[in-house]
Amino acid sequence: MSQSPRIAVCPGSYDPITNGHLDVITRASAIFDEVVVAIVDASVRKKTPLFSVEERMELIATATAHLGNVRPQPFSTLVVHFAREVGARTIVKGLRVISDFEYELEMNQLNRQEAPDVDTLYLMASPKYSFLSSSGVKELARFGGNIEEYVPAAVAPLLQERLRR
């Protein structure tokens, strides 16, 4: 008897992808047969993205190329509906701080009401990335800080160039 592949969705804006995101995606790829990095184009919590969906997909594909079971894909529906569309029964999210937990608890309750068949798995941020956010990286880059240790190699020069405009 053939078992269905275990598919997970890692949703986010990824504007841009950071090493913290990459850590969660890498850890999820060790647990699941396939990980879909779901890129939301217009988040209700965030400003207009700095990078287009296509650019974010390319940066994620480059950063995860060493992981054979990860693929980026944009979405513009409820994440639980997207999870069902791609055959995933699990959403994987990283948690850094208490405020992440408070927000994610609320979202989890809403998602469970909408799709009780889709679970959410929370991975605690690795200590070295517990402070890291895309918005923090953008602010550091905007004011000339060194961001190379916080983002995949392809991201740093592109982000610095974009912010110079």
What's the confidence (pLDDT) of residue 98? 81
Instruction: Give the strands of the sheet with 119-124, arranged side by side.
Output: 70-75, 34-40, 7-12, 90-95, 119-124
Active-site option among 13, 21, 29, 93: 21
pLDDT band at 165 (very low <50, low <70, confident <90, very high): low
Query: Is residue 49 a part of any domain in this protein?
Result: yes
Check if 89 is active-site. Answer: no
Query: Is residue 159 a part of any domain in this protein?
Result: no
Query: Is residue 158 a part of any domain in this protein?
Result: no
Check if 138 is active-site. Answer: no
What's the confidence (pLDDT) of residue 137? 95
Specify the amino acid at residue 139: E
User: What's the pTM value of the predicted model, to 2 decimals?
Assistant: 0.93
Cβ atoms within 10 A of the Cβ of 61, count? 14
Active-site option among 96, 138, 142, 162: 96
pLDDT band at 45 (very low <50, low <70, confident <90, very high): low
Query: Is residue 74 a part of any domain in this protein?
Result: yes
The dihedral through the CA atoms of 20, 22, 26, 28 has a sign that is positive
What's the confidence (pLDDT) of residue 43? 61
User: Which residue range(s) make up the domain with 55?
Assistant: 7-130
Query: Is residue 66 a part of any domain in this protein?
Result: yes
Between 45 and 84, whose confidence is greater?
Answer: 84
Number of domains within the chain = 1
Query: Is residue 163 a part of any domain in this protein?
Result: no
Query: Is residue 145 a part of any domain in this protein?
Result: no
Query: Is residue 155 a part of any domain in this protein?
Result: no
CATH of the domain at 89: 3.40.50.620
